[in-house]
Amino acid sequence: MDVRAMTKNELAEVIERNKEHPDPALISGAAAVRDKYYGRRIFVRGLIEFTNYCKNNCLYCGIRCANRRISRYRLTRAEILSCVQRGMELGLNTFVLQGGEDIYYSDDVLCDIVFSIKEYSPECAVTLSVGERSYESYKRLREAGADRYLLRHETADKVHYEKLHPSEMSFDNRLRCLYDLRSLGYQVGAGFMVGSPYQSSETLAEDLLFLKELEPHMVGIGPFISQTDTPFGDMPNGTLELTLTMLALVRLMLPETLLPATTALGTIDRKGREKGFDAGANVVMPNLSPSERRADYALYDNKLCTGAEAAESIEMLRGLIERAGYTMDMGRGDSLVKTFDS
């Protein structure tokens, strides 16, 4: 099955056929492609959720600005650096700073944080995931030392995008951000939720075609999980089966991309991450945020943040990876996808 040669209709048919029962040949075929390009190494990144303030109001997200029922926090530069230091002591070499779109972190403040991390540890890779900003802002952050940027496109279908976001947010701007990031020489991560409200096999096929065109270095995919205090609080969650099908199809579409088995996948199924590896995933991002803050970064209900999901339990994570038949790799884990140099 040559996924890269398929039309939108053909992809939608494959998705439709595999959405409840992923074909074992599709799953093992994707795992074989991952083995061929990356081997059986699972890369580990330390995730620091440094602010849950957000000016946006995405309908699915628990940290949306209209949610008055969470307690908001932001970490100082010193607190972020101490998370990095703890991660380094555990052996990690790559850190993901993720947060809501919090205007407190101006370019000056964020550049200073990135610069300090790189000063402390010049060899490590710094990934930012702080939403939509201007070209100038991305440029300054890149110059301050940021290596990678995660910005899920959420859906490649404009009409669908407008059902998931308030009218102040723009699909075109989100795509503009991704292309700007790529042209600035970042390793770029796009991605989407599986099973988000109003999604269809056609919109998912569109996601695959968009990824083929963008050719991101990473693709973050996880099931949509409802969060009680959002407008989508009563919507059904995405399923394990469709998420595995989409992971496998992304792996076949982009053999050289990095593909995380996300926390959301581990949240909907006790063995979700291991099943993700077996469908072609090869990254995990355990949580390095201060433990007393983790519950407040509540993008969705019941989000995992203990056990193998917590960076301090790195040996538990190693056990999980090894029992599943893989090895844990704590290096930088650069993507095989080539980067544009600005």
Residue 9 C-beta: closest distance to ligand SAH, Å: 26
Q: How far apart are CA 34 and CA 42, in angstroms?
A: 11
Q: How far apart are CA 142 and CA 114, in angstroms?
A: 9
Nearer to ligand SAH, 102 or 278 (CB): 102
DSSP 287: B
Task: Report the sign of the C-alpha dihedral through residues 131, 295, 232, 223, in that order.
Answer: positive
CB atoms within 10 A of CB 271: 13
CA distances from 291 to 77, 239, 287, 307 (A): 17, 28, 9, 12
**Single-letter amino acid, residue 166:** P
Residue 219 C-beta: closest distance to ligand SAH, Å: 12
**Single-letter amino acid, residue 184:** L
Nearer to ligand SAH, 87 or 222 (CB): 222
Specify the residue for token string 């957000």.
54
Residue 59 C-beta: closest distance to ligand SAH, Å: 9
Contacts of 158 (CB under 8 A, 6+ apart): 171, 172
Residue 227 C-beta: closest distance to ligand SAH, Å: 5
Residue 122 C-beta: closest distance to ligand SAH, Å: 26
Nearer to ligand SAH, 13 or 101 (CB): 101
Residue 132 C-beta: closest distance to ligand SAH, Å: 7
DSSP string spanning 198-260?
A: T--HHHHHHHHHHHHHH--SEEEEEE----TTSTTTTSPPPPHHHHHHHHHHHHHH-TTSB-B
Residue 238 C-beta: closest distance to ligand SAH, Å: 8
For residue 34, the Cα-to-chain-centroid distance in whole angstroms is: 18
Nearer to ligand SAH, 23 or 269 (CB): 269
Across-strand partners of 151?
A: none
Nearer to ligand SAH, 31 or 48 (CB): 48
Nearer to ligand SAH, 59 or 324 (CB): 59
Nearer to ligand SAH, 100 or 145 (CB): 100
Q: Indicate the angle between helix axes 8-18 and 240-253, nearest 10 degrees.
A: 140
Nearer to ligand SAH, 3 or 130 (CB): 130
Q: Return residues touching ligand SAH (CB under 6 A).
A: 60-61, 98, 100-101, 129-131, 151-152, 154, 193, 222, 224-225, 227, 264, 299-300
Residue 334 C-beta: closest distance to ligand SAH, Å: 21
